[in-house]
Chain A
Amino acid sequence: MSKVSCRKAFSARLTELAREDQSIFVLATDSRGSVTIGGFAAEHPDRFIECGIAEQNAVAIAAGLAKSGKTVFVTGPACFLAARAFEQVKIDVAYNKTNVKVIGVSSGVSYGPLGGTHTSTHDYAGMRALPNLTVLAPSDNVQAASLTEYLVRTNGPAYMRMGRGDVEGIYRDGEQFNVGVAKEVNKGSDITIIACGETVWHALQAAGKLEKDAISARVLDMFTIKPLDEAAVRQAARETRAIITLEEHSLFGGLGEAVAHIVVTSATPVPMRIIGFPDEELLVGRSAELFAHYGLSADNVVAAAKDLLEV
């Protein structure tokens, strides 16, 4: 399977879809390079709007365009779109139910070497709390392209976050995804690992290691953070003895807490472990270094699994 970044897969598919669908507009925030959206700009210059370094303005312009029937993708680094422009996402996109797709790239700790100004480990928490908004985090290029198509074909506000680097392939070309339905990427009966975005690959590695120790780990790719697949979480709590969540996000307000909310209210609650970034300033470093340091790794998941299962 290929190793391509989600953002490139997104841009390529969107540029392709825009050949057929004349309603697609893309707004950039001096982010042509970081979003890798230059191809769209070159091919569809009339539907590419450069808004400069002004994220608040860009998101609200997107809402105005969408109000008249356009499908608008407003793009830029997640750290800015999900923080500086949060009020515009809350009001002009979510509250107004406009057909705006907020695309945050280089999310999480992709920009780790740039320091804490450029991390976005808060975006699930903020975006999850906004009514009407769909929140997506693809785990590989195939899924990113597929979700891009979903965003084009459906009407309504959405936020999709993607990392910067090339990621390991999870899916074969042509794989189908249903938004709101978790994708089971490994069958298992002892424990369930729920991950999203780039952590899905680490979850799969962990499942492989656990299998060697005769522990059967189910892995769910929870690429739809919202609406969360509650049924899949309840099923995991019913059919497996523990749940671990793994996310490139703060421990506060992200996938782990979303899953925990379902688990504690299910008929068969099970012990859980939430793995993510602690509530502290993160060290400077490359994404892989930070993943390893903070335990977003297969080894840490394996240790947590054995601890939870008391083996």
Chain B
Amino acid sequence: MNIRKLEKKAGQLRLDVLDMVFNSKAGHIGGSFSGMDILVALYYYLMDVGKILRSDPDRDRFVLSKGHCAEALYAVLADQGFFTKDELRTFTHFGTRLAEHPTRDIPGIEIATGALGHGLSVGIGMALFLRADRVPAHVYVLMGDGEQAEGSVWEAAMAAAKFGLANLTAIIDRNRLQISGCTEDVMPVGNLEEKYRAFGWQALVCDGHDFSQLIPALATRVPDRPVVVIAETIKGRGSKVMENIAEWHHQIPTATEYQTIKADLEKMIQEVSP
């Protein structure tokens, strides 16, 4: 595993997201930056992207349950050749397929998402299919931590354990913020590790920006049991302008902020030793 390459890629993709958000004056940059390393770990290391590009039946499946961070996924998919990078410029424009939440017919998007609390259930359906047809592939579902307040998440948590889905990994982008403020103020999600464990899951906590922790966690498989990776992250990760500030859930950078964030990211990329 070449961690430096992954770090560099994550920095470059954040720059793509910054451009999309700044040019379109739309998007959810804070959560896109907190979850970017998770996406890079999946799309540049753990999953066989060739199979996803070919829509092979035995491809791994990724569901972006926190659909509001679509621009992060779009940047990844464009970089991986699912569609052209030029198309990123249409983000949220009239008639585009690149809406602020993933729509149905974008290459690489398994299912349109955006209303929170759906993705884990959909992922269970996919995992049940893979198991029923004895397809050796894995399902990854990325959720937000604010999303954990949706009751349907816990219906799904119960069901995944009941079905003993060893081919399902839930990931929680644990940035501790949501649109109105701290998750623990808005609706305390508490100790997610203990909660999922009590529901019958294998629960792991790791630094969501450290590939040396993230990748082994995401690669963890336990017989007859789903795995949840609680990735401790920083909302707006990559620039001091945004880090850990709730308003950056969906704030749009000013021209000055854009320059500063860009410079911060470029510095971050440069600091990754070659």
- Bound complex: CA A60 to CA B123 (Å): 9
Given contacts A54-B159, A91-B114, contact A64 B104 (CB under 8 A): no
Instruction: Output the residue of A60, A66, A69, A87 with the most chain B CB within 10 A.
Output: A60
User: Is A164 an interface residue, CB under 8 A from the partner?
Assistant: no
B-contacting 9-mer, from A92-100, A237-245, A278-286: A92-100
User: Is A61 an interface residue, CB under 8 A from the partner?
Assistant: yes
Instruction: Output the residue of A51, A64, A70 with the most chain B CB within 10 A.
Output: A64
- 29 cross-chain CB contacts under 8 A: A54-B152, A54-B155, A54-B158, A54-B159, A57-B124, A57-B155, A57-B159, A60-B122, A60-B156, A61-B121, A61-B124, A63-B111, A63-B122, A63-B125, A64-B122, A64-B125, A64-B128, A65-B125, A65-B128, A66-B125, A67-B126, A68-B126, A87-B115, A88-B118, A91-B114, A92-B122, A96-B111, A96-B112, A97-B104
- Bound complex: CA A295 to CA B144 (Å): 51
- Bound complex: CA A84 to CA B15 (Å): 41
Question: C-beta contact mask, A55-89 vs B, less than 8 Å → 1, else 0?
Answer: 01101111111111110100000000000000110
User: Is A49 an interface residue, CB under 8 A from the partner?
Assistant: yes
Instruction: Count residues of chain B with CB under 8 A from any CB of chain A.
Output: 30
User: Is B110 an interface residue, CB under 8 A from the partner?
Assistant: yes
User: Is A307 an interface residue, CB under 8 A from the partner?
Assistant: no
Q: Which of B89-144 contact A (CB under 8 A)?
A: 104, 110-115, 117-118, 121-130, 132-133
- Bound complex: CA A35 to CA B114 (Å): 31
Asked whether A56 lies within 8 Å of B132 as measured between CB atoms, the reply is no
Asked whether A64 lies within 8 Å of B111 as measured between CB atoms, the reply is yes
- Bound complex: CA A147 to CA B128 (Å): 27
- Bound complex: CA A16 to CA B125 (Å): 24
Contacts of A63 in B (CB 8 A): 111, 122, 125
Asked whether A60 lies within 8 Å of B125 as measured between CB atoms, the reply is yes
Asked whether A95 lies within 8 Å of B112 as measured between CB atoms, the reply is yes
User: Is A52 an interface residue, CB under 8 A from the partner?
Assistant: yes
CB distance from A40 to the nearest CB of B (A): 15
CB distance from B12 to the nearest CB of A (A): 31
Partner of A52, one of B115, B125, B132, B159: B159
Given contacts A88-B118, A91-B118, A97-B104, contact A64 B156 (CB under 8 A): no
Asked whether B124 lies within 8 Å of A64 as measured between CB atoms, the reply is yes
Given contacts A49-B128, A95-B104, contact A64 B112 (CB under 8 A): no
Asked whether A64 lies within 8 Å of B126 as measured between CB atoms, the reply is yes
- Bound complex: CA A97 to CA B103 (Å): 11
- Bound complex: CA A225 to CA B95 (Å): 30
Nearest residue, chain B, Cβ from A85: B152
A-B contact count, CB below 8 Å? 94
Partner of A61, one of B57, B113, B115, B125: B125
Question: C-beta contact mask, B39-52 vs A, less than 8 Å → 1, else 0?
Answer: 00000000000000
Asked whether A60 lies within 8 Å of B132 as measured between CB atoms, the reply is no
Contacts of B156 in A (CB 8 A): 57, 60-61
Q: Which of A7-39 contact B (CB under 8 A)?
A: none
Q: Which residues of A contact B (CB under 8 A)?
A: 46-47, 49, 51-52, 54, 56-57, 59-70, 72, 87-88, 91-92, 95-98
Contacts of A65 in B (CB 8 A): 125-126, 128-129
Q: Which of B227-271 contact A (CB under 8 A)?
A: none
Contacts of B130 in A (CB 8 A): 68
Q: Which residues of B contact A (CB under 8 A)?
A: 57, 104, 110-115, 117-118, 121-130, 132-133, 151-152, 155-156, 158-159, 162-163
- Bound complex: CA A69 to CA B126 (Å): 10
Asked whether B111 lies within 8 Å of A92 as measured between CB atoms, the reply is yes
Asked whether B155 lies within 8 Å of A64 as measured between CB atoms, the reply is no
- Bound complex: CA A69 to CA B57 (Å): 10
Nearest residue, chain B, Cβ from A50: B162
- Bound complex: CA A92 to CA B113 (Å): 8
CB distance from B108 to the nearest CB of A (A): 14
Asked whether A61 lies within 8 Å of B118 as measured between CB atoms, the reply is no
- Bound complex: CA A77 to CA B124 (Å): 22
- Bound complex: CA A52 to CA B158 (Å): 10
Asked whether B125 lies within 8 Å of A62 as measured between CB atoms, the reply is yes
Contacts of B57 in A (CB 8 A): 68
Contacts of A59 in B (CB 8 A): 121
CB distance from A62 to the nearest CB of B (A): 6
Contacts of B117 in A (CB 8 A): 56
Asked whether A67 lies within 8 Å of B159 as measured between CB atoms, the reply is no
Given contacts A49-B128, A57-B155, contact A92 B118 (CB under 8 A): yes
Asked whether A51 lies within 8 Å of B152 as measured between CB atoms, the reply is no
- Bound complex: CA A68 to CA B139 (Å): 12
Asked whether B112 lies within 8 Å of A57 as measured between CB atoms, the reply is no
CB distance from B97 to the nearest CB of A (A): 13
- Bound complex: CA A64 to CA B118 (Å): 10
Partner of A67, one of B118, B125, B155: B125
Contacts of A87 in B (CB 8 A): 115, 118
Asked whether A61 lies within 8 Å of B159 as measured between CB atoms, the reply is yes
Contacts of A51 in B (CB 8 A): 159
Smallest CB-CB A-B distances: 4 pairs = A64-B125, A60-B121, A57-B155, A54-B155
Asked whether B118 lies within 8 Å of A60 as measured between CB atoms, the reply is yes
Nearest residue, chain A, Cβ from B114: A91
CB distance from B217 to the nearest CB of A (A): 23
